[in-house]
Amino acid sequence: MTETTQAAPDTTRNAEDVGVEEARAAWVAEARLYLVEVARSYRSVVTHKELAAAVQERSGIHTDRRVHYWIDGVLADVGRDSAARDEPLISALCVNREGSVGSAYAGLVLELTGEEPADPDDHAARQRLECHRFFEAADLPDGGGTAALVPQLANTRARLKKAAAEARPVQTCPTCYMELLPTGLCDTCD
């Protein structure tokens, strides 16, 4: 893939007029450049919507199609390009509005490695860290940093885990109604 530069503001074209293949190729090239910029800032990510707006602006090729219809294809091509360059999977830096890489990411990892990740978001967290290291993030902590979920997703998972723990039925003693020990014995009655 070739590296490109920002298009002049007055050269906006419609993707339908340009053609699907040419538009996608331009968006993939711009997405790679944009994601490299994102990778140079530790723990930074970009949303699908932000990336879509950036690649359209930079390439000068716009579409009226909703982002979710085409951004996964662009990210898949960027990921394939990363693999061909023997780089970490830079498309892991792009998340949906919930902070997740989404289901298409798992399919891409399966295609590239032959193994589907058990948890695509954990896999993406590790890949993001590798991207920050590979592209030499200026604010990378001493020791190289750590892999982390996007805060929004981490918070959602923590809330779900807490809710599941709270929803778990509590076993009580039939005599005194105190909570039973994990052994199933009552500390008060026995």
Domain ranges across the chain: 13-149
CA gap 10, 89 in Å, rounded:
33
Taken in order 109, 139, 48, 13, is the CA torsion positive or negative? negative
Judge if pTM exceeds 0.85: no
Q: Which of 5, 139, 3, 151 is nearest to 78 (CA)?
A: 3
Encode pLDDT of 134-175 as tens digits: 999 999 999 999 999 998 888 888 888 887 777 778 888 888
- Give the C-alpha separation, 23 to 105, whole Å: 22
Closest CA to 54 of 77, 76, 37: 37
For the chain, count helices (H), then strands (E). 7, 4
What pLDDT band is residue 18 in, cutting at 50, 70 and 90?
confident
